[in-house]
Amino acid sequence: MSNSDGNNLLEGLSKAMADAVEKAGAGTVLLNARRRFPASGVLYDSDLILTASHVVEREDGVPIILWDGAEHTANLLGRDPGSDLAVLRLSNPVSPRAEFAAQEARVGQLVLALGRPTPEGIQASLGVVSAVAGPVHTRRGGLLERYIRTDAIPYPGFSGGPLIDSAGQVLGVNTSGLTRGASITIPSGLALQIAKSLAEHGSVKRGYLGVRSQPVEIPQHQQDGLGRQQASGLLLVGVEKKSPASEAGLMVGDILVGFAGQPVADPDELFTYLTGEVVGRPTAVEIVRAGKLQKVTVTIGERK
């Protein structure tokens, strides 16, 4: 390719990024829910705003400013401090809503962090995806199944705003409320799942099994019995009375190795499977008892 083609490419990329900011910026709102420090939110449905929980200090009549300067108000529907997400409902539907990326962020991908902390206009910073990882225990006692880290600068008021790709599609919601002195991004898939629960129930439903456990090694001959390579499982060291686990007959000393068809190798993994989706549902749990694999059906309760 000639030099001028290269330059056209660079100018093309520059224009694409400005277009992406304009497109996603239209679905990024200013949220005035704490004193003196406005933050940002993502319009994910015509009347629903997803933002960071820690920027929402007042819950009713929260002033919202849209991309075109129009002023609205919204009320808090629910929040999940564990993932630092909150959902607010606008008093009337508006457009356009943000578009979400179908695929998860990839390490090295070009991204832009957006924020609307002032009525002056959209703000953006450039970076790449540094890591996509999880699960991780957050500062507020929650467990985040997955998170994205980037090197884009999180300017003041960017919390609650979107992380977008170069096509203007939302990869996740940015927050500096979960890790001290840094910003992480809750991936779109997880954020929308939590948002759905917040909009419907006002909180995030989580499943309840009623066991205490610790990871243990599974000897090779028992792995043969599982019919798969799985080096560890969860030794049950406590079963709460009248819990779903005890009702189903689980006992101290059982080794939990599978949940709803998925292998379980450590307590975080079990936690991520105990979502609101499985509450009230009879679920197949695989255990090793006295060296033999058994399947037990447990009706999962709700963690209060």
Partner 1 sequence: MNLGIDLSVTLTDSLADLCQRVNQSLVVVQNGRSGAGAGVIWRSGGIVVTNYHVIHRGRPRVSLLDGNEFTTSVHAKAKHIDLAVLKLEIPETERSALPIAEIADSRNLRVGQIALALGHPWGQLGSVSMGVITSLGRVPLRWRKGAVDLIRTDAGLAPGNSGGPLIDASGAVMGINTMIVGGDQGIAVPSHVINEFVDEALGQAELPVAS
Residues that bind partner 1 (CB under 8 A): 1, 3, 5-7, 9-11, 13-15, 17-22, 25, 112, 120-126, 152-153, 155-156
CB of 114 to partner 1, least distance (A): 9
Q: How many CB atoms lie within 10 A of CB 149?
A: 18
* Cα 133 off chain centre by: 12
DSSP letters, 56-81, are ----SSEEEE-TTS-EEEEEEEEEET
Instruction: Pick the closer one to partner 1 by CB: 5 or 68.
Output: 5
CB of 1 to partner 1, least distance (A): 5
Pick the closest to residue 168 from 295, 22, 4 (CA basis).
22
Q: How far apart are CA 112 and CA 122, in angstroms?
A: 12
CB of 202 to partner 1, least distance (A): 35
Instruction: Pick the closer one to partner 1 by CB: 70 or 153.
Output: 153
CB of 205 to partner 1, least distance (A): 38
Instruction: Pick the closer one to partner 1 by CB: 128 or 296.
Output: 128
Q: Which residues of 23-45 are buried (b: 16+ CB within 10 A; e: fewer)?
A: bbbbbbbbbbbeeeebbbbbbbb
Q: How many CB atoms lie within 10 A of CB 166?
A: 16
Q: How far apart are CA 273 and CA 143, in angstroms?
A: 12
Tokens of 10: 């660079």
CB of 6 to partner 1, least distance (A): 3
CB of 120 to partner 1, least distance (A): 5
Contact, 87 vs 78, CB < 8 A?
yes
Instruction: Pick the closer one to partner 1 by CB: 29 or 264.
Output: 29
Instruction: Pick the closer one to partner 1 by CB: 111 or 300.
Output: 111
Instruction: Pick the closer one to partner 1 by CB: 124 or 264.
Output: 124
